A and B are shown apart, each in its own frame.
Chain A
Amino acid sequence: MSSSTNNTPVPSTSSKKSLKVFSDDIWKNKTAKINAELFTLTYGSIVSQLCTDYERDFAKVNNQLYSMGYNIGVRLIEDFLARTALPRCDSLARTSEVITICAFKVFLNVTPQVGNWSSNKDSFSLFLEENPLSEFVELPMDAAKELWYSNILCGVLKGALEMVQMDCDVWFVNDVLKGDQTTELRIKLNRVLKDEIPAGED
């Protein structure tokens, strides 16, 4: 049996530190590593192919990246939950910690910063200081206006959160590729979906 079947102690307290130790352990010991440049270049070729296919209609490219991401997210969440055995989050603050400290760490080995909480605590921003997707990228003039190069991330987050019953909107606010100071991704919780119950039981 492989190592991932061992009963890893799930961090029970909501403290950030134990989640970080827990995530570092998964990243170090239970995750197969691949060359980051290979990943970056693969993503680059997907985006460039989409730009060609849609004849540089970047709104369509954004949508396509988003829906590709969504389809990845609904599957990736199972992988994530199998690796970490985390339960559902009891607050959006906890969700933001799990996404940044755990999920981004395990899948991309980066830890975005959380910030810009809305006053009613239903939305927050992720600041990506490093973005492995756009490592070597410079947008051409026509793309810089409309293309959200890493839009696949929004789709992944949307799909994955939906599978744990959180209906969210996810979108990019800023991107350093477009000349902004930061790369900022916004997540807004619309509502927590209800678990289904069998017909006739309500």
Chain B
Amino acid sequence: MAIYSFWVFDRHCNCIFDREWTLKSNQSSGTTNSKLNEDTAKLLYGMVYSLRSISQKLAGNEAHNEIRTIATGKYRAHILCTASGLWFILLSDLKQEDLSHVLRYLYGEIYVKTVAHNWLSPIDFAESEAEKRGQGFRKIRNRNFLLRVEQFLGPMVN
């Protein structure tokens, strides 16, 4: 199993968390909430956004058709979009066909318990109008969130 990176976007089109692993052999390698990933985050958002609108258009009148995975020649993106507008995205190698249970766990057991149920953490990461529509810069920095993401995804890196 190999996963390359994990991303969370909020309903204001902002990337509120990113974690990229660079060395397969080292679970703690790579970057977390890195400024350098800003452009990649925007591109990733754009790719999912476009394919998501296409999948919804192609569904016709049967309203609900969320995109789940996108495969390219080099990697596969696994996507979970919630009704509240959060996107959880995992990039993995091509062998992983369906990581939706992993994404559900990241949402239900990690995000909900360490961010949504944590009243001292913001639930909305855009503090003003100027930080909405993809212009925001705030990230999830909760220690428990970071720790549990590391514990859960770390073993899947290689």
State yes or no: do A and B come from one complex.
yes
Q: Which A residues lie at the B interface, using CB under 8 A?
A: 1-2, 4-7, 74-75, 77-79, 81-83, 85-88, 90, 163-165, 195-199
Chain A positions within 8 Å of B85 at CB level: 163, 165, 195
Q: Which of B83, B123, B133 contacts A86 (CB 8 A)?
A: B83
Instruction: Tell me the total A-B contact number using a CB cutoff of 8 A.
Output: 79
Q: Which of B45, B105, B112 contacts A78 (CB 8 A)?
A: B112
Q: Are A78 and B133 in contact (CB under 8 A)?
A: no
Q: Are B116 and A87 in contact (CB under 8 A)?
A: no
Q: Are A196 and B132 in contact (CB under 8 A)?
A: yes
In angstroms, how far is the closest chain A Cβ from the Cβ of B93? 21
Q: Known contacts A195-B11, A199-B135; is A82 also within 8 Å of B64 by CB? A: no
> Is there a chain A Cβ closer than 8 Å to B101's Cβ?
yes
Q: Are B84 and A196 in contact (CB under 8 A)?
A: no
Interface size class of chain B, counting residues whose CB lies under 8 Å from the partner chain = 20 to 34
Q: Are B66 and A78 in contact (CB under 8 A)?
A: no
In angstroms, how far is the closest chain A Cβ from the Cβ of B94? 22
Q: Which of A6, A87, A199 contacts B133 (CB 8 A)?
A: A199
> Is there a chain A Cβ closer than 8 Å to B26's Cβ?
no
CA distance A45 to B148 in the complex (A): 35
Q: Are A5 and B133 in contact (CB under 8 A)?
A: no
Interface residues in B78-107 (C-beta closer than 8 Å to A): 82-86, 100-101, 104-105, 107
> Is there a chain A Cβ closer than 8 Å to B63's Cβ?
yes
Q: Which of B12, B84, B132 contacts A164 (CB 8 A)?
A: B84
Q: Are B109 and A2 in contact (CB under 8 A)?
A: yes
Q: Are A79 and B13 in contact (CB under 8 A)?
A: no
Q: Are A197 and B13 in contact (CB under 8 A)?
A: yes
Q: Known contacts A77-B84, A165-B85, A196-B12; is A83 also within 8 Å of B108 by CB? A: yes
Q: Are B134 and A82 in contact (CB under 8 A)?
A: no
Q: Known contacts A164-B84, A196-B12; is A75 also within 8 Å of B117 by CB? A: yes
Give A72's nearest chain B residue, CB to CB.
B119
CA distance A195 to B109 in the complex (A): 26
> Is there a chain A Cβ closer than 8 Å to B111's Cβ?
yes
Q: Known contacts A90-B64, A196-B132, A199-B135; is A78 also within 8 Å of B84 by CB? A: yes
Chain A positions within 8 Å of B133 at CB level: 196-199
CA distance A83 to B112 in the complex (A): 10
Give A163's nearest chain B residue, CB to CB.
B84
Q: Are B135 and A81 in contact (CB under 8 A)?
A: no
Q: Are B64 and A87 in contact (CB under 8 A)?
A: yes
Chain A positions within 8 Å of B63 at CB level: 90
Chain B positions within 8 Å of A6 at CB level: 101
Give A202's nearest chain B residue, CB to CB.
B133
CA distance A147 to B22 in the complex (A): 59
Chain A positions within 8 Å of B104 at CB level: 4-5, 7, 82, 85
CB<8 Å pairs between A and B, sample of 6: A1-B105, A5-B101, A78-B86, A79-B116, A81-B82, A195-B11
CA distance A2 to B83 in the complex (A): 22
Q: Are B13 and A196 in contact (CB under 8 A)?
A: yes
Q: Which of A79, A86, A163 contacts B117 (CB 8 A)?
A: A79
